Amino acid sequence: MSETRVWTQVSSPVLIGLLMLAEMNHAFEQNMIQLALPHLYADFGDPVTVGWSITGYALVAAATAATAGRLGDVLGRKRVLIAALLLGTAGSMVALLWPTLPGIILGRAIQGTTGAILGLAFGIARERVGERNLAMVLSLLSGTALIGGPIGQFVAGLLIDGVGWHAIFAFSAGLAALTVVLVWVLLPGSPATGKLRDVDLGSGLIFAAAVAAILLGITLIGKTNGAVAIALITAGAVALAAFVILSVRSPHPAVDFRTFKDGRVAVAHAMMFVMAFGVLAFWLVLAVALQSPQATGLGLGLGAASTGAVMGIASIIGGAIASPLSSVLTRKFGVPAALGAGSAFVLAGALILLLSPVVSPFLLAVGGGIAIIGSGFLYAAIPILLMTGVPVERTSEAGNVNQVMKSVGLAAGPLMFSAILASQTLTLGDKTLAAPGAYVTGFTVLAGAGVILLVLSGIAAFVVRQNRTASTSTATFDSPDPSPEADYVH
């Protein structure tokens, strides 16, 4: 598709709005299926196979994101962004026109390619927005990804209740198609820095297979023969090791692991994994605790809708308020301050949760909400730290590798927290429920994640100081944009 535009320039708000709309496609498609699961169970009667509508999406998203990001860096990010949106449209149409279980799973897998959108949006923002505004734009994009979950579930719920589960695929197809048109017409063309031969697609396929095998193995733990899960994880680890060796030797690697030598990059990836594994995955524990009957000794007895409202409001506050505030802290005090603030919120939330058994179950909502808001600070600040250590020509690749770290954490974290909830149980009537001690263990793990994130924030402060003299090819976020056309991009 040609990158020719109708407009010769576009205002920064329009550019940011386009990128946020593109990321909203990813956020909606990622979350829309969850409320449809009971309806799919009723129609197809196979919960295990229906679950692949989520697993297939997650595997493709994690496996293809990094390579797609690299393709964008080399061939032009706008071109690859449009391709991802078109594939998202195609996936929705497959599920809509072939409304069988195989069709839904295939369509969802194709939709998984939209997992590359956030990293591509980071790259486009970095190439088009002045350094003075880049931190704010990155935080807005990250906030969109965070609030897209509850918004996506709300819209999906309205469509499912009003029309049926087929409607969510029609809506996602229409949204993606509309976004393609707007991006094609309004978004400035992205410069190509090379040709397809400059991307090591062979090693990229090895990386995709390795990530898919590891995540699939993790998701199968406890659901099938343990040997199968272990074999998949082992095979994925071996393939990943081979990929690292090939990448280090390749002049044009799909993922340049040499960037990990920069402490800022390494810390950013580590923080994203810890946040996903110990904080975002903890939402599972919080959702169960909020719905747990008060008779268990620790619970609010909320319904599913009320629980979704509590967590959704906290997520919206985190994405719409905490994420932009993160960029303000970055501009005034540096990105380590924003990282530290988010980590402190997570730890404070965990400590309040630990008080809930002895003070009041109401603290479940308070502490959980504070921890979720903390994740809003972190989700915006981590990409900002990452961009300070990554060359411009590797922006989308690095951003999507960061998303892969999140995917791995979100695959492993829920298994750990589920095991914690099952470790201590009690019987209430004819139901087996998690005991208060299990929740306390979960709260302790969250507190541990908060401590680790605080330590990593301190390390980030150290490496940032060590790299104050970084080259101009990396983002600094601390100097104003002197251009008189700072509000326009070409």
pLDDT digits (tens, 9 = 90+) for 159-174: 888 888 899 999 999 9
Query: What pLDDT, on the 0 to 100 scale, is given for residue 106?
Result: 94
The amino acid occupying position 16 is I
Each residue's pLDDT tens digit, 1-23: 444 444 446 677 888 899 999 99
* CA nearest to 149, candidates 406, 333, 420: 406
Which residues are 432's β-sheet partners? Answer: 427
Query: What pLDDT, on the 0 to 100 scale, is given for residue 473?
Result: 47
Contacts for 444 with CB less than 8 Å, ≥ 6 apart: 350, 354
Q: How far is CA 226 from CA 127, 419, 478, in A?
A: 47, 15, 51
The amino acid occupying position 156 is A
Q: Are 212 and 57 in contact (CB under 8 A)?
A: no
Chain position carrying tokens 């994009």: 141
Query: What pLDDT, on the 0 to 100 scale, is given for residue 8?
Result: 43
Q: How far is CA 144 from CA 147, 181, 466, in A?
A: 5, 20, 32
* CA nearest to 275, candidates 145, 428, 446: 446
Full DSSP string of 214-232 = HHHHHHHTTTS-HHHHHHH
Residue 354 banded pLDDT, cuts 50, 70, 90: very high
Instruction: Centre a 10 Å sphere on the Cβ of residue 473 and count the other Cβ atoms it contains.
Output: 10
Q: Report the chain's terminal Cα–Cα distance, integer Å.
A: 19
Phi, psi (degrees; rounded to nearest 5) at 431: -110, 140
Each residue's pLDDT tens digit, 131-140: 778 888 888 8
Structure tokens at 257: 């692991």
Whether pLDDT at 179 is above 90:
yes
Burial code (b: 16+ CB inside 10 Å, e: under 16) for 311-330 equals bbebbbbbbeebbbbbbebb
Spatial separation of the C-alpha atoms in residues 184 and 481, rounded to whole Å: 27
Query: What pLDDT, on the 0 to 100 scale, is given for residue 476?
Result: 53
Which residues are 488's β-sheet partners? Answer: 11
Residue 224 banded pLDDT, cuts 50, 70, 90: low
Each residue's pLDDT tens digit, 144-163: 888 887 887 778 888 888 88
Full DSSP string of 10-57 = EEHHHHHHHHHHHHHHHHHHHHTTGGGHHHHHHHH--HHHHTHHHHHH
Each residue's pLDDT tens digit, 230-249: 898 899 899 888 888 887 78
**Chain mean pLDDT for the chain:** 84
Mean pLDDT is highest, among 316-330, 370-384, 393-407, for 370-384
Whether pLDDT at 209 is above 90:
no
Per-residue pLDDT, averaged over 352-367, amounts to: 90
Each residue's pLDDT tens digit, 279-334: 988 887 888 888 888 888 888 888 766 777 788 888 888 888 888 888 889 889 99
Q: Is 140 helix (H, G, I), strand (E, B) or coil?
A: helix
Each residue's pLDDT tens digit, 60-75: 887 788 788 888 888 8
How are the residues of the chain apportioned to helix, strand and coil, as percentages rounded to the nearest 5? 80, 0, 20
Query: What pLDDT, on the 0 to 100 scale, is given for residue 331?
Result: 87
Query: What pLDDT, on the 0 to 100 scale, is given for residue 435?
Result: 87
Structure tokens at 20: 């946020």
Each residue's pLDDT tens digit, 451-487: 999 999 999 999 998 877 554 445 555 444 444 344 4
Spatial separation of the C-alpha atoms in residues 280 and 286, rounded to whole Å: 10
- The whole-model pTM stands at 0.81
Query: What pLDDT, on the 0 to 100 scale, is given for residue 9?
Result: 60
Instruction: Centre a 10 Å sphere on the Cβ of residue 248 and count the other Cβ atoms it contains.
Output: 11
Per-residue pLDDT, averaged over 128-132, amounts to: 76
Strands 10-11 and 425-428: unpaired
Find the Cα–Cα–Cα–Cα dihedral 474, 342, 487, 81, rounded to 10°.
Answer: 70
Find the Cα–Cα–Cα–Cα dihedral 342, 348, 352, 355, rounded to 10°.
Answer: 140
Q: Are 76 and 190 in contact (CB under 8 A)?
A: yes
Each residue's pLDDT tens digit, 244-280: 888 778 777 777 777 778 889 999 999 999 998 999 8
Query: What pLDDT, on the 0 to 100 scale, is given for residue 245?
Result: 85
